[in-house]
Amino acid sequence: MKKNSLLAWSLDGILLCAWPLAGFAAGPDYAREAKWADEVVPGLVVGDPVYLQTPRGHHKFLTLFTPVAGSKQAVIVVHGMGIHPDWGMVGTLRTELADRGFTTLSIQMPILAADARGEDYPPTFREAAERIGGAVAFLKAKGYAEIAVVSHSMGSRMSLEYFKGKPDPVVKSWASLGPSFNRYERVKLPILDLYGDNDLPAVLGNAGSRKRSLVNPASRQVEVAKTDHFFTSHEGSMVGAVAEFLKDSLK
């Protein structure tokens, strides 16, 4: 895998999903994003920092690109609320999936102030969907023909916003970890619904309705035993379940 080499990638001229940003109750905290980037990039060991441009060019956001030689399959990793693309289990996913043969692009999602609550985040979902669209465009331009999204927690809520739009046909599947919503809104792609048996109440309480909403026969729901919302002490089971699903759904 490559060591650090600061890259910049402009998506000017590439058509992305274009939702208007007007009407947000609160905009993302770009200063906090920059602080995260300043902390993450100097200590990065695996992968390259790549800055992608938001569609209207008002902000560049950090992504961590870990290419695997010879692979045409890539995974966009979408983190949860208020953190960064190399945090904890997110860093584990992006590096260990690369070790298993999948190029990964872990992307910085919109974040709010540290004291923001989950219910404060929906106004950021449109920009979140645009960032996922930008990540897809970047990987397509690199020649990746099969792409999956792997998201966690609030990142799964943000990813649902992307899939409710018009996802690019190159996106073939979605691994949704620890989602709190109750249905997949008629998303037709293969979906992995993965959570811990000691997950958050909303995740556990909505598991049945999420399972009933899975419409693709290749979709599956998996409960990981003896772990929590972050798959603590069971990261290996988490990565294994995701990798198995990706191998089945990216062919």
The per-residue pLDDT for range 194-205, each reduced to its tens digit, is 999 999 999 999
Of residues 245 and 22, the one with the higher pLDDT is 245
Q: Is the pLDDT of residue 1 over 60?
A: no
Q: Per residue in 145-192, pLDDT tens?
A: 999 999 999 999 999 999 999 899 999 999 999 999 999 988 999 999
Predicted local confidence at residue 128, as pLDDT: 95
Number of domains in the chain: 1
Domain that holds residue 141: 7-13+27-249
pLDDT confidence band for 57 (50 / 70 / 90): low
Q: Report if residue 122 sits inside a domain.
A: yes
Q: What percent of the chain has pLDDT over 70?
A: 89
pLDDT at 15 exceeding the cut of 50 = no
What is the pLDDT at residue 195? 98
140 found inside a domain? yes
Q: Do residues 71 and 212 lie in contact, with contact meaning Cβ atoms separated by under 8 Å? A: no
**Domain for residue 74, yes or no?**
yes
208 within some domain: yes
Both tokens of 69, joined, read: 């030689």
pTM score of the predicted model: 0.89
CATH code assigned at 205: 3.40.50.1820
Instruction: Give the Cα separation of 176 and 81 in Å (integer).
Output: 14
**165 in any annotated domain:** yes
Examine the pLDDT at 94 and tell me if it is beyond 80: yes
Task: Express each pLDDT in 103-133 by its tens digit.
Answer: 999 999 999 999 999 999 999 999 999 999 9
Helix ranges (DSSP H) in the chain: 30-40, 88-99, 125-141, 154-164, 201-205, 207-212, 235-249
Q: Of 47, 38, 39, 36, whose CA–CA distance to 7 is shortest?
A: 47
Query: In this structure, is residue 90 part of a structural domain?
Result: yes
The answer to whether residue 166 sits within a structural domain is yes
pLDDT of 22 > 90? The answer is no
Q: Identify the pLDDT of residue 213.
A: 97
Q: Which two tokens stand for residue 99?
A: 């070790």
- Residue 19 lies inside a defined structural domain of this protein: no
Residue 50: burial class (beta carbons within 10 Å; 0-12, 13-18, 19+): buried
147: which strand partners?
A: 74, 171
